[in-house]
Amino acid sequence: MNIHLFDTTLRDGTQSEGLSLSVEDKLKITGILDGFGIHFIEGGYPGSNPKDIEFFQRARDLKLKHAKLTAFGSTRKAGGQAASDPNVRALVDSHTPAVCIYGKSSILHVTQVLGTTAEENLAMIGDTVAHLKQAGKEVIYDAEHFFDGYRANPEYALASLRAAVQAGADWLTMCDTNGGSLPSFITEVVGVVKKNFPTRLGIHTHNDSDMAVANALAAVEAGCLQVQGTINGWGERCGNANLISIIPALQLKMDRRCVSEANLSRLTEVSRTISEIANIRPRAHAPYVGSSAFAHKGGAHVAAVEKLTESYEHVPPERVGNLRHVVVSELSGRGNVRLRATELGTDAGGNEREVLKRVKELENRGYQFEAAEGSFELLVRRSNSAYAPAFEILDVVVISERRRGSEMFVEATLKVKVGDETVHTVAEGAGPVHALDQAFHKALDAFYPLLREVRLVDYKVRILDPEAATGAKTRVLVEATLGHERWSTIGVSPNIIEASCEALADALELPLARARTAARQVAKA
């Protein structure tokens, strides 16, 4: 059985606090959703703001291959006529093949919010649906606050649906607008609606009780053929039903087809790409697509997964375009070390026990290698007795002073040993870490030209024991890049300069170690 996916990221999703999309963003996302296989893409409210007006004008030039672009709006105003209502006219003028209109199904909202009568609200629904059908539109009728309205007055809630059906609505979508319902109630009410109306049914749920996905799936089991939601669950308040979680659940667990298998394997890519366009950091622990969704940390878990992946994975990560990830920490076993080293392109060489012991010692002192895979890789490499560091730090001095009438002055002095040669450099910087970074490059770039392309792109500090006040131990994480490669390294010390120096040194040593390994492999070949 096929389920129709109705995406409202461009409308309902943008009501999420802190999320704003430009017209260009919306056009890009529309193309991605169409290519992914979404059936309906709700573009916005064409009568509400200039941005949505421009979007629908420009969207006419899109060559959508799969999706039906959908305009969103409300029923006509009380006391008027749909044919002369400006918002209804905007829906017709949007030139979309489908429209989604919402109307009131809760008598409380009809009388207290709209300020009209029960009879007039039913007329508003019927008049608007009929007018849009006459204009040649496929009409999705969203019964706003339907489940709350049904709970308070089931007869009127059903009457509101009947008004839409009699006027020719193609879809009836029941909305849990306040997000307060539970799956058992959703199942019960959808069952009643299905018995009373032959029209195809849809579900629109919000996440205020953390039940949006569960409620949407329950509605499908009860007979709904359309699911409305947003990418990554964005939306007003606590968000909407998350299509990124719903799609694999429907397809892999409920045998309801939504998208092609090839597109399902792009699920992680789609989630992260749209997050990038929206300038929202992807959630690491998001089901199916998060970077931690298939991360294994406990030693017993990793040992089991190494033998049988499904022992601790509910679906194969590659089915949704994600990757298995082994985390190394004080909870790890030797299998964690072996598998994580392999993921990073190196080999523990039988030294797993030694590396694991070192990891546990360091994590007891405040290190955390989950977020510092670069430093962990160096631990593995250093466990090999043949490993030789590219350089050795001999002395470090950092001066930060402010003289009367001048700005703060920062200078780092660094003495390092490279082979048999000792190098003594001095560099200024905007701050102590910047000065240290400059000094490292000044000392090492001449010996290792590769380092000229290494860039420090992030620097984070965490206080590990705040009760110690200014004497607290600090953890420094440094992120560096070289072309498309990116890695993080760590340093821990009560002295933030020492912690920073350690993290910076690892960040520069790692690409040199990798380059030496690559050169040896080429030589062997």
pLDDT value at position 353? 81
What is the average pLDDT value for the chain, to the nearest integer?
Answer: 91
Sheet holding 421-428, edge to edge: 392-401, 409-418, 421-428
Q: Which two tokens stand for residue 148?
A: 């709350």
Task: Please state the three-class secondary structure of 1-28 as a single string.
Answer: CECEEEECCCCCHHHCCCCCCCHHHHHH
Q: 330 pLDDT exceeds 60?
A: no
Matching fold, domains 4-259 and 392-524: no
Query: pLDDT per residue over 488-512, tens digit each?
Result: 999 999 999 999 999 999 999 999 9
Q: 304 pLDDT exceeds 80?
A: no
Q: Which two tokens stand for residue 172?
A: 């009836």
pLDDT value at position 132? 98
Burial class (CB in 10 A: 0-12, 13-18, 19+), 444: buried
Q: Identify the CATH class of 4-259.
A: alpha beta
Every domain of the chain and the residues it spans: 4-259, 295-382, 392-524
| Choice between 301 and 446, residue whose per-residue pLDDT is larger | 446
H or E stretch covering 83 = none
Average pLDDT of 390-413?
A: 87
Q: Which two tokens stand for residue 239?
A: 């968000």
pLDDT band at residue 148 using 50, 70 and 90 as cut-offs: very high
Distance CA 158, CA 304 (A): 52
Query: pLDDT per residue over 87-117, tens digit each?
Result: 999 999 999 999 999 999 999 999 999 999 9
pTM, full prediction:
0.73
Q: Which two tokens stand for residue 351?
A: 């030294």
pLDDT band at residue 1 using 50, 70 and 90 as cut-offs: confident
Q: 316 pLDDT exceeds 80?
A: yes
Question: What's the CATH fold of domain 392-524?
Answer: Double Stranded RNA Binding Domain (3.30.160)
pLDDT band at residue 302 using 50, 70 and 90 as cut-offs: low
Q: Highest mean pLDDT range out of 138-152, 290-304, 398-412?
A: 138-152
